[in-house]
Amino acid sequence: MTVGGIIVAGGRTSYSRPVDGPHGWRPTSAYTAAVTVGILLLATSVLAGRADIALIGIPGLLAATWAHAGRPTTPLRADLHEPPGPTTPGELTATLQLAAGPGEGADVVHLRITAPGHRTTHLTLAARPQGQARDVPLGLSSVRTGPQQTFTVDLRGSRHGTWEEEPTQVRAATRLVLPGAAPLGRLPLPRRLRGLTGPHSSRRLGDGTELRDIHPFTPGDRLRRIDWRTTARRSPELDTLYVRRTYSTAEATAVLVVDSRDEVGPDVRTWRGYGIIRVDEPTSLDLARHAAASVATALVEAGDRVGLEDLARRRRPLPPSAGRRHLRRLVHGLALAHPKDLASAHRVRPPQLPADAIVYLFTTLLDDDPLRLVRTWRTAGHPVVVIDTLPDVHTVIESHLAIAWHIGRLEREDRIAALDVEGIPVVRWAGSQRDQAAVRFEALAHAARRHTPGRTP
């Protein structure tokens, strides 16, 4: 069931967070009104000499006396259980467990459940008897990734409508939402491959599957490489043996560079930190995480080495490596990428990259720094692929914002045109063009293979 944007559903979790705040019981306005009205009616009956007025006030005083005799003494305990470890985009769940200790406690619980970007949900539940716990499963939907604030529950118990507990609050810990990955085909690779083995055919001689040429046998050639058909055709007397020489296999090295210096959404009014970004619309950093996770998954599954650089962080980059465990480190590092102070985010020197590595740059192209980095890497001999992660911007109504966005859009188009003139591909990763990214990558990989010297198309 969905209540006010927050889903109340089934499920059970294991992580517990204790409640914070004081516990105490106080009379409600109904209790105070019963006592006050009863005393006033009794006083009026004495002054007026009318017993019928006293009969009206006595039930209220008796009810207040009965309520005071049953004053609760046990505070309501609340634990918020969450799934351990990171999660994936979609539905975030938690379980609120309500329990009362021995003695008189609350019979009704009032809840106010809030989450950033969602409407507030109010619930009134019946408390379970003493020693029994009541589970309230919670859930919310979000397409956002990275560190996310989830549930904040304000609760207050009451008994017979005459006593209420001091409000307390249970706040969930920050959840880390890992980005998902879209299936991709072949990706562009660097011009020169490294390593003694790998999934790709390099341009040097060695053990592999791709034929290079047929050559006379020389010392050092393996006997299993002898091509007996060619030998019989070219040297019937077996004076000369011919061997099949192949290209050796090697692995590619790629570095993912995420421009996390800023995070913008589809609404221009929320840029520069004003307003709240909707949870059902991915931001530029959400798109960058998703695109980088997709590229990393495709490369690692192909057997290549992948590293990670964050332009907003200057320490502890992930060096290139391979394997499923390294892929989990990459995805976790992408989830931790977040904007920092722009004044300290400017880098005088671009990140240092391994030799002969291809660079995948994920950026919004809203300033000139990406162009400077790309040109520096191209000068050093690194092929670069730019992935445009700016979301599809909504129509701007305000005139001053419309003018500002029009100027920014024109500058951004000039940067994309400059990259195209310099032969640097730009792949769009937002909206409907995200589905065409795999086709674009496939075309870039085919073009790079066709124009590689010494390789057959």
For the chain, the helix, strand and coil percentages under 3-state DSSP, each to the nearest 5: 30, 30, 40
Same domain for 240 and 214: yes
**185 is a domain residue:** no
Mean pLDDT (the chain) is 79
Total domains in the fold of the chain: 4
Whole-angstrom distance, CA of residue 214 vs CA of residue 228: 11
- For residue 259, give the 3-state DSSP assignment: coil
Cβ proximity of 294 and 303 under 8 Å: no
pLDDT digits (tens, 9 = 90+) for 73-109: 777 788 888 888 778 777 888 888 888 765 567 778 8
Q: Are residues 276 and 415 in the same domain?
A: yes
At 414 the pLDDT is 94
| Placement of tokens 């969450």 in the chain | 82
Boundary (domain end) residue, out of 162, 177, 192? 177
User: What is the average pLDDT across 314-325?
Assistant: 84
Are 320 and 272 in a shared domain? yes
205 has which bridge partners? 247
Query: 20-29, 191-200, 219-228, 374-383: which has the highest mean pLDDT?
Result: 374-383
Find the radius of gyration of the CA atoms of the chain. 34
Percent of the chain past pLDDT 70, that is, above it, reads 82
Residue 248 has pLDDT above 80, yes or no: no
Q: Which pTM value belongs to this model? A: 0.76
> Which domain does 63 fall in, by range?
29-69
| Same domain? 95 vs 215 | no
- Residue 121: phi, psi to the nearest 5? -115, 130
